[in-house]
Amino acid sequence: MASVVGVLPAAGYATRLGSLSGSKEMLPVGGRPVMDYLVERMRAGGCTRLRVVTRPSKVDVISHAEELGADVVLGHPETVSASFLAGMEGLATDDVVLI
């Protein structure tokens, strides 16, 4: 049976945002990490599984993703496209992917 898998790229460096105290995905918007809004939309779209692709050094993202029940895919993708490909690796051919 196919799953609906949400793939969230979170491995970027946020160089255009300047100096941050943590990862851009964890910046608070309305009192919640911005990442939560993306996860909420994916779940509203039928996502039954979530994969967050991030770098090992982004411990705040890893911790929060695990709290949300997401699978964490660690790597160093050089582009957003590479992040999506890493997040889709190993999925069944009939799985539906939300990006």
**pLDDT (tens digit, 9 = 90+) per residue, 43-65?**
999 999 999 999 999 999 999 99
Contacts of 42 (CB under 8 A, 6+ apart): 6, 8, 50, 98
Region of 90 on the Ramachandran plot (φ > 0 left; ψ -120 to 50 alpha; else beta) = left
Token pair of 17, please?
């945002």
Mean pLDDT of 16-43: 91
Using the predicted structure, report yes or no on whether residue 15 has a pLDDT greater than 90. no
**CB contact at 8 A, 23 and 61:** yes
The answer to pTM > 0.85 is: yes
Mean pLDDT of 19-23: 83
